[in-house]
Amino acid sequence: MTHSVIELTPEDAWQRQQSGAILLDVREEGERAAGMAVGAVGVSQQTLQHTPANWLANCSTPVMLICAAGKRSHACGEALIAQGYTRIFSVKGGTTAWQAAGLPMTAPAVDEDFLSRYSRHLRLPEVGLAGQRKLASAKVALIGAGGLGSPAALYLAAAGIGTITLIDDDLVDRSNLQRQVLHRNADIGTPKVESGRRTLHALNPSITVEPVRARLQADNVETLLAGHDVVIDGTDNFATRYLVNDACAHLGLPMVYGAVQGFEGQVSVFWPGQPGGSCYRCLFPDPPPPEFAPNCAEAGVLGVLLGIIGLLQTAEAIKLLLGLGESLSGILLQFDALSMRFNRIKLLRDPDCPTCGQGTQHHAYQDLPQVCASDQMPR
């Protein structure tokens, strides 16, 4: 005998539920946070299809499935029938129709702004409600509100990072606008951290943006970075980058590194406290002499390249906060915009590294001469 999914109206499903029938909501956890049919049990479609025996006593157990609009529940029902289950029902029109019929719903787990703003994150099983709440409680330090910091800041804010600390001592200049998309023409002459704060709050008023108009130095670097979960390096000079690296290594924080020059960029995660991790000094033990470093004002760069590298940094930061995937710790990712090619280089931790080498003692931070960091590019 061939079995098929039987569709029920929400009213029919409600009547059957009152008689003891099982109703399973197969939407993702984040979607169910908006409210569920009263009495329904939440289990994602993927989980139910993978382990149906955990939810259904036997193959003849009658079960009703409900999703958002009825398509996923019907597809899930077909998958269960293919596994031998025989009495599968799907609520036509899903939760949307259930609500329209005036049938009882549970209260939303979070407010409407949260549900609407992050709805696409909430539908990802890897993020969901728990992950989005984790992002909302996260604190990220962003060093530099310029070319790399601009795209990073915008997408951190859009992703719902709870607290973003913007650290920069510079003013917005007209020449910045070719690549520093956090700022507008009207912001010329304004501190970048204040311009950035306004832009980020206009994008997402629910987050906290802490503007710090200061240059990181030996006497403030640890104080400014302590207490964060991730540090994103958007610096434009070696002195600051080495300070950030040393402080992150000492504090045990991941430093998401990015650098650009001309049409090339590179990204990595420096986190020597993790297996296979290393720090920036493992790659570049010392900054180059000033005469070999490109001049900040004279070095050219393709504006959009900073957007690409800054967004890669942001993706790494979000992955680190959520504990997802494989980070770039121990890997230098190089990008050539002219050929549109990526190259991965394995990084090794230097056992004699002055910052993270074996048995290395923490030394006082040191202010280095301000030298432009358009950057050393391993080839």
Q: Which residue numbers are catalytic? A: 296
- 235: nearest Cα among 307, 172, 149: 149
| Bridge partners of residue 341, in order along the sequence | 336
| Bridge partners of residue 66, in order along the sequence | 25
Using DSSP bridges, classify how beta strands 255-261 and 264-270 pair: parallel, antiparallel or unpaired. Answer: antiparallel
DSSP letter string, 226-289: TT-SEEEE--SBHHHHHHHHHHHHHHT--EEEEEEEBTEEEEEEE-TTSTT---HHHH-SSPPP
Listed in sequence order, the residues at least 6 apart from 257 whose beta carbon sits closer than 8 Å to its beta carbon are: 233, 241, 266, 267, 268, 269, 270, 280, 313
* Residue 330: CB atoms within 10 Å: 22
- Which residue is it, tokens 């991730």? 230
| Bridge partners of residue 231, in order along the sequence | 141, 255
